Amino acid sequence: MRNPPLKHVPSRTLLSCALAGCLLLGAAPAFAQSTGATIRGQVSADSTPAAQAQVTATNIATGLSRSVKSSASGGYSLAGLPPGTYRVDVNAGGKTSTQNITVQVGQTATVNLGVGGVSETAQGGAATTLDAVQVTAQAVVETKTSEVATYVTQKQLQALPQNSRNFLAFADIVPGVMFNTGNEGSTSIRSGAQLSSGVNVFIDGVGQKDYVLKGGITGQDSSRGNPFPQLGIAEYKVVTSNYKAEYDQLSSAGITAVTRSGTNEFHGDFFWDNVASSWVADTIRERDGRDIKARTHDEQYGVALGGPLIKDKLHFFVTYEAKDRSDARQVIPGRQISIEELPERFQDEARSTNNAPFKEDLYFGKLSWTPGDAHLVELTMKRREEDEVTGVGGVNLASYGTLKTGEETRIDLRHQFNAANWMNDAHITYEDASFAPRPINLDNGYKLFVPRRGEELLNNPTMEEVINRGGGGDFQEKSQKGYSFQNDFTFFGWEGHTVKAGIKYKDIDLSAFEQSPYSPQFRYDLNQSLDTPYMVQFTASGNGYPTSVESSVKQFGIYIQDDWEVNEHLTLNLGLRWDYETNPAYEDHVTPAGLVSALQAWPNINNANVDYDYNNYISNGHNRSAFKDGWQPRVGFSYDLNGDQRHVFFGGAGRSYNRNQFDYLSLEKYRLAFQRYEYQFNTPGHACTPGAGSNCYNFDPSMFDPAVLAQMAAANPNNGSEVFLLNNDIKTPYSDQFSIGMRNAFSMWGHDWNSSVTLMHVLSHDGILWTMGNRYPNGEYRNNPAVNWGGQPWGEQLPGWGRFFIGNNAVETRLNSLLLALDKPYTTESHWGVSFAYTYSDAKENRSNSDTFSFDYPNLDNVAFTRALGIPEHRLVATGIVDFWGITGSAKLVLESPKLVEAINCYSSSIAGDCAFDPFKPDKKIGYKQLDLALQKEWDTGTDLKLRVRGDVLNVFNWRNVLSSEYANWRGNAGTPDPNYGNRTGDAIARPTRTFKLSFGLTW
């Protein structure tokens, strides 16, 4: 009789024990993420609870062994087990039994053991006996947890179709998670209505958070690279909501992964992937001959080695992966203007082959030492190096691109100690990550704009970007470097409780340098002159501020978690954590005295009609403090209807704090070091009045010389510069999460299946938003208060300075979601597996795409929530794996309803220019569809060497998925509709077009 799938029970926490454990170790602690698994349950002898029974789990591959004696009621718990397959031996009163169990990352498996009869699982199935030649083991499935979580297995990592070799690409087989690949090749992961910055990934228990940039984790902000070599990942778990108290520095999904280790046998892997230009189907424009067929290059290769240095004691694992690409870039002018409609001087460069090269090297090494049954010591090191050309394509011609380098080093020393009824897990880590974009060339930037629809006849209309050429403006150096100490203590000596506590301390230096733009950026009006600009933006040094903003950040966190198995039906997960961070760059900042005087003397903002108090943004170096309210209760439950883990209700509620990105917190400093000036030119359609104290000038060709602009800025210091001011009471962004659902384990067609249904509600708060601080002389934000949109005080400059922006906590999202999952796990007995993940999302946001800038409104206080961009209402991801005739076949299907297109509605009001954001859904039933297939054949040479050949076909049917930017989004103006609204206006499509990838590999 087939054993039904087993399920998971959570871990637990006790603060006092954690503190004691820290003192015993003599080490300060830090981030905590359970990667070790737990096997727990009851031992019975002849159907009677067996006290003092010896339970031993031995890892089949490495020989690592853990032992424990059962309690008076027969309960036992083996914690901190590296994921893998274990032989579980029981000895009770001279009677023995053995069975094999496979456990996954961070899993708590409930396994009831019996002697004196047939060993049985919690569902009553027969045990598996160890075979001396081939080990087969039951994979335990987790149901008794309040977390909304799903596992990604090694089989799925190896078999499912893919192109990027980014291990995070498989996370979208989990309901509620999306892995996005931009048309420029950059990848990102997001969950729910929040952006990628809400995500955190934990590798071997250590968070990979990016504190400076918005990618969520280091190496995932606007990069085509991978954060970690896929050969080094064993498996991972994705938690989309209601994680336990050990998870920190995130507000959406948490991913916890475990790396591969060496075993008692030497093993190795080699792979080489290649995609030739001719194996990539034409885009629409290439097919029609309007664009030159791009010659692309895509090659990936790597090797992994592992084995014993001392059998059962010391093992090693090393891997290297490289990615070498040259991707095609498609120029797509803004405002739905076609390349053929551009001025002739731009057309040849827009049509030419625009390729963007990329090179990445990834290294990972691991030593695992087991000096005794109670100890495990691991030392790991990761190194990432990448170089690429970005910023080409879309509105940017090739000359406007950016050279970008990224580097990262992470080292982790871990010690785990197991006692009879407690375990301690300590980490000392080091990280050093940097990000450095530079312009391809240093020419002046040429930026072509057109007036926003409905404002063509206005003087000084709002302008929209069409095309960019010349020298780009992206010149940055962002980095984080420092150490952390972390400790997690687990106590399982109380009957029915697993208590876990942790404490962390992190000392990290953050650095942000940005001169933006590096080259002067001249703006031209397509409807006016193509040779005389109407505006220029440039930077010049000012005020003696240091050019690089640096901050020595200290982070401290502590948590306690109790997973209380009240009885065989009810389990409660009760947790609380608190996080605290000091950031001197923000807290000790002093607003320049000259700027303070200018604010105090300007009547426009010293007015009863002004909707904010600028004094809340003036810092004297003592009126800012670190955020201290980071308390995060997290509670959950699971109720096993029949006590057999087949039908389990679960639910939970909790709060989780993310981090404010240092890139935003440092703006008010580095914009002073390299002041960003904006000069207007008195030209047709953009009239202004030149004069003393004004940033308006009559244009002269000599102004094309950056040295002349620098002299103009030096003659009138600060005049025309942009200023950023942060609120003195900035809070940390967070989300409140609620969920309820049911998991089921059942048999169908002679196989074990698992299903779950979850209702999830997530509210995120306090994202940073920058708005304009300038006001009209009457204190109003608009020159016509009756107009909802437009009429902003662009021309009202702070005397002696220019425009200034104020930063507040304002961005929010709301999500109601239905998550459905159904899977039949792959097993070596059945040779096949399938999974289905469906997500329904009702997502709303108060700022389009959660943008950090808003100039259409003075603030978001009375701005309506609109449907969130970038999130389909319906999404289905289905996968399948099957072995036949010595071949492994796999498939992945993604179907999405159309994502919303941002639209500008000036139609509903009878007043010209009275507008609002009003996104719409394209008139299509399916907005995105892609089917990928893979076939792999492996040959055994008879010499412990196996050869494999594999082919992946991405987007098999070459479905053309239209980009949101290709729809006309202008509804009309003042009651006059735009007849083109909602229609497709361009032919840019999402990549990939149909692509074939050929792979060769060796295993030994």
Q: What is the pLDDT of residues 305-351, one digit of tens each?
A: 999 999 999 999 999 999 999 888 888 898 888 888 999 999 988 88
Residue 29 has pLDDT above 60, yes or no: no
For 267-285+295-415+423-620+647-1003, CATH number?
A: 2.40.170.20
* Percentage, residues of the chain above pLDDT 70: 94
Residue 526 has pLDDT above 90, yes or no: yes
Residue scoring higher pLDDT (810 or 459): 810
Residue 163 has pLDDT above 90, yes or no: no
Question: How do residues 265-287 score in pLDDT, each as one tens digit?
Answer: 999 999 999 999 899 988 887 78
Q: What is the pLDDT of residue 33?
A: 52
Please give the angle made by the CA atoms of 310, 316 and 321, to the nearest 5 degrees. Answer: 160
CB contact at 8 A, 553 and 583: yes
Question: How do residues 816-844 score in pLDDT, each as one tens digit?
Answer: 999 999 999 999 889 999 999 999 999 99
For 151-259, CATH number?
A: 2.170.130.10
Question: How do residues 191-225 score in pLDDT, each as one tens digit?
Answer: 999 999 999 999 999 999 999 998 899 988 888 89
Q: What is the pLDDT of residue 408?
A: 96
Q: How confident is the model at residue 982 (pLDDT cuts 50, 70, 90)?
A: confident
State residue 231 phi and psi, 5-degree precision. Answer: -60, -20
CB contact at 8 A, 536 and 520: yes
Question: How do residues 961-976 score in pLDDT, each as one tens digit?
Answer: 988 888 888 888 888 8
Q: How confident is the model at residue 542 (pLDDT cuts 50, 70, 90)?
A: low
- Pairing verdict, β 187-191 and 65-69: unpaired
CB contact at 8 A, 724 and 675: no
Residue 544 has pLDDT above 50, yes or no: yes
- C-alpha distance from residue 325 to each of 163, 279, 359, 360 (Å): 12, 14, 6, 9
Identify the weakest region by mean pLDDT among 447-451, 855-859, 907-911.
907-911
Q: What is the pLDDT of residue 1?
A: 32
- Pairing verdict, β 548-565 and 497-514: antiparallel
Identify the weakest region by mean pLDDT among 369-383, 405-419, 755-769, 984-998.
984-998
Q: Two tokens at 878?
A: 């289905």
Rounded to an integer, the average pLDDT of 58-74 is 86
Neighbours of 340 (CB within 10 A): 11
Q: Characterize 903-917 residue by residue with b for buried, 16 or more Cβ atoms within 10 angstroms of its Cβ, and e for exposed.
A: bbbbbebebbbbbbb
Q: How confident is the model at residue 632 (pLDDT cuts 50, 70, 90)?
A: very high
Q: How confident is the model at residue 124 (pLDDT cuts 50, 70, 90)?
A: very low
Q: What is the pLDDT of residue 4?
A: 35
Distance CA(680)–CA(535), nearest Å, equals: 5
Rounded to an integer, the average pLDDT of 151-167 is 93
Dihedral sign for Cα 21, 23, 26, 28, please. positive
Domain extents in the chain: 37-104+108-139, 151-259, 267-285+295-415+423-620+647-1003
Residue 452 has pLDDT above 70, yes or no: yes
Residue 556 has pLDDT above 70, yes or no: yes
- C-alpha distance from residue 539 to each of 399, 636, 671, 678 (Å): 20, 52, 9, 9
Q: Two tokens at 253?
A: 């999904």
Fold of the 37-104+108-139 domain: Immunoglobulin-like (2.60.40)
* Percentage, residues of the chain above pLDDT 90: 59
Identify the weakest region by mean pLDDT among 219-233, 670-684, 862-876, 881-895.
670-684
Identify the weakest region by mean pLDDT among 23-37, 619-633, 739-753, 790-804.
23-37
Q: What is the pLDDT of residue 308?
A: 96
Q: What is the pLDDT of residue 131?
A: 36
Q: What is the pLDDT of residue 34?
A: 66
Residue 704 has pLDDT above 50, yes or no: yes
- C-alpha distance from residue 795 to each of 453, 523, 774 (Å): 20, 16, 9
Closest by Cα among 336, 449, 854 to 686: 449
Q: How confident is the model at residue 139 (pLDDT cuts 50, 70, 90)?
A: low
Q: What is the pLDDT of residue 14?
A: 33
Q: What is the pLDDT of residue 127?
A: 35
Distance CA(919)–CA(898), nearest Å, equals: 12
CA atoms within 13 A on the CB side of 256: 26
Give 57's contacts (C-beta < 8 A, 6+ positions apart). 39, 65, 66, 67, 78, 81, 86, 87, 88, 89, 101
Give 94's contacts (C-beta < 8 A, 6+ positions apart). none
Give 429's contacts (C-beta < 8 A, 6+ positions apart). 30, 206, 410, 411, 412, 413, 483, 484, 485, 486
Q: How confident is the model at residue 5 (pLDDT cuts 50, 70, 90)?
A: very low
Q: What is the pLDDT of residue 9?
A: 35
Q: What is the pLDDT of residue 138?
A: 59
Identify the weakest region by mean pLDDT among 549-563, 607-621, 714-728.
714-728
Closest by Cα among 861, 889, 593, 641 to 745: 641
Residue 946 has pLDDT above 90, yes or no: yes
